[in-house]
């Protein structure tokens, strides 16, 4: 069984999770296991503490000082593998970098690891094979709660209800927002396992034996009502299958664009959540100037297609074009998207 706590945005859902980790640290570990690890390039929200847990320099810039006790671990983008990385076994290598940080910080001080299943706004980064198994081993070894932020992937975006279901992950805590009511109502959820829920119980201190959070709209019934209808529609219209089918089609079409345009360095994605990195040179992988991705977005927009891109996240890596078509997208819709991109690339970044 799992337990659900409602709020109104992804940032807030994550804040609740962080508060839970802190309260559990206080209750079970005398306050010691209070640190929360987050990953370079991940985003977890707009409030000061959610930004404290965010691995995007430019998005955080000018908003410090940040909440203490949040510690960054290295990213796991294979295309941008760190110097000295084991490229044969990059997933395991990248996960082992998390263990290194845990050992540096002291495992007795680390309460949770907060990760996106697929880094979204940080550049559509799917962790490589071997990563998640090793991450889970590490969390178990050091008694660290695994918090998966499903604010983007949650409720169908990648072709399963949750992104983590692709990787056999058993999270302790899950947060979700955007897809809960497909954007029609402001609702987010912080979900925990029954085991985590039980950690709040304290027969000796009944005034403190629950998650002591309070919020004006936390109990608003409009959001859950919209969420229930949304989930029913996803089921009735087999939208998870549609996402898988159209997602594969979209990825294939983006790879065709890669064959056509040298500026596309790497195509990535899962389900109806895809993107590609733009580079000056495929050998050096030097990112294009931000003006190129901006121009591609503007060109698509002028042709009626709203295109996403990494934006104000990292000064040097605002070079990823990304797209999240509606879960009901048809093959014809995908063709419209790809045609807009094709036209934009031909105009903005034709081969030399």
Ligand X SMILES: Cc1ncc(COP(=O)(O)O)c(C=O)c1O
Calpha distance 176→93 (Å, rounded): 28
**Stretch touching ligand X by CB under 6 A, among 32-40, 115-123, 228-236, 265-273:** 115-123
16 scored as a contact of ligand X (CB under 6 A): no
Nearest-approach distance from CB 122 to ligand X, in angstroms: 9
Question: Which helix (DSSP H) or strand (DSSP E) does residue 323 occupy?
Answer: strand 320-323
Nearer to ligand X, 179 or 287 (CB): 179
Q: Are 36 and 112 in contact (CB under 8 A)?
A: yes
Retrieve residue 264's tokens.
């596309």
189 scored as a contact of ligand X (CB under 6 A): no
Nearest-approach distance from CB 44 to ligand X, in angstroms: 5
Of 34, 44, 134, 147, which one interacts with ligand X (CB under 6 A)? 44
Nearest-approach distance from CB 162 to ligand X, in angstroms: 13
What is the side-by-side strand order in the sheet with 35-39? 2-7, 188-193, 173-176, 145-149, 110-115, 35-39, 70-73
Of 5, 6, 38, 43, which one interacts with ligand X (CB under 6 A)? 43
Nearest-approach distance from CB 50 to ligand X, in angstroms: 7
Strand pairing class (145-149; 173-176): parallel
Longest CA–CA separation in the chain, Å: 73
Nearest-approach distance from CB 14 to ligand X, in angstroms: 6
Could you give the 3-state DSSP secondary structure of residue 300? helix
Nearest-approach distance from CB 335 to ligand X, in angstroms: 27
149 scored as a contact of ligand X (CB under 6 A): yes
Q: Which of 25, 122, 119, 29 is nearest to 68 (CA)?
A: 25
118 scored as a contact of ligand X (CB under 6 A): no
Nearer to ligand X, 9 or 190 (CB): 9
Which stretches within the chain are classed as H helix? 10-29, 48-52, 57-60, 90-105, 131-141, 194-198, 222-236, 239-260, 290-302, 331-348
Of 94, 120, 279, 329, which one interacts with ligand X (CB under 6 A)? 120
45 scored as a contact of ligand X (CB under 6 A): yes
Nearer to ligand X, 115 or 338 (CB): 115
177 scored as a contact of ligand X (CB under 6 A): yes
| Residues 272-311 contacting ligand X, CB under 6 A | none
Residue 118 vs residues 151, 164, 180: alpha-carbon distances, Å: 11, 8, 17
Of 55, 74, 121, 308, which one interacts with ligand X (CB under 6 A)? 121
Nearer to ligand X, 45 or 55 (CB): 45
Binding positions for ligand X, rule: CB under 6 A: 9-11, 14, 43-46, 116, 120-121, 149, 151-152, 177
């Amino acid at each position: 069984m799992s337990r659900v706590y409602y709020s109104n945005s992804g940032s807030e859902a994550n804040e609740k999770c962080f508060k839970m980790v802190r309260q559990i640290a206080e209750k079970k570990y005398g306050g010691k296991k209070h640190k929360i690890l987050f990953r370079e390039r991940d985003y977890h929200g707009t409030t000061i503490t959610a930004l404290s847990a965010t691995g995007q320099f430019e998005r955080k810039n000018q908003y410090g000082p940040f909440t203490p006790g949040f510690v960054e671990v290295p990213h796991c983008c294979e295309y941008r593998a760190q110097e000295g990385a084991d490229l044969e076994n990059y997933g395991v290598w990248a996960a082992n970098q998390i263990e290194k940080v845990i050992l540096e910080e002291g495992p007795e001080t680390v309460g949770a690891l907060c990760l996106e299943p697929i880094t979204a706004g940080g550049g559509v980064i799917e962790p490589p094979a071997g990563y998640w198994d090793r991450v889970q081993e590490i969390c178990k070894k050091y008694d660290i709660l695994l918090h998966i932020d499903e604010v983007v992937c949650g409720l169908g975006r990648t072709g399963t209800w949750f992104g983590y279901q692709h990787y056999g992950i058993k999270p302790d805590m899950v947060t979700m927002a955007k897809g809960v009511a497909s954007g029609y109502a402001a609702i987010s959820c912080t979900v925990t396992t029954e085991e985590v829920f039980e950690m709040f119980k304290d027969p000796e201190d009944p005034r403190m034996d629950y998650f002591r959070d309070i919020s004006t709209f936390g109990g608003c019934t409009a959001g859950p009502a919209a969420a229930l209808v949304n989930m029913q529609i996803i089921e009735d219209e087999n939208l998870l299958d549609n996402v898988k089918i159209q997602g594969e089609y979209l990825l294939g079409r983006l790879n065709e664009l890669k064959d056509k345009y040298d500026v596309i360095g790497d195509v990535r994605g899962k389900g109806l959540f895809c993107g590609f990195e733009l580079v000056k040179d495929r050998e050096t992988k030097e990112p294009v100037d931000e003006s190129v991705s901006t121009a591609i977005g503007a060109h698509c927009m002028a042709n009626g297609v709203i295109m996403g891109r990494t934006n104000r996240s990292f000064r040097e890596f605002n070079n990823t074009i990304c797209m999240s078509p509606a879960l009901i997208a048809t093959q014809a819709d995908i063709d419209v998207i790809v045609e807009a991109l094709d036209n934009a690339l031909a105009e903005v970044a034709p081969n030399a």
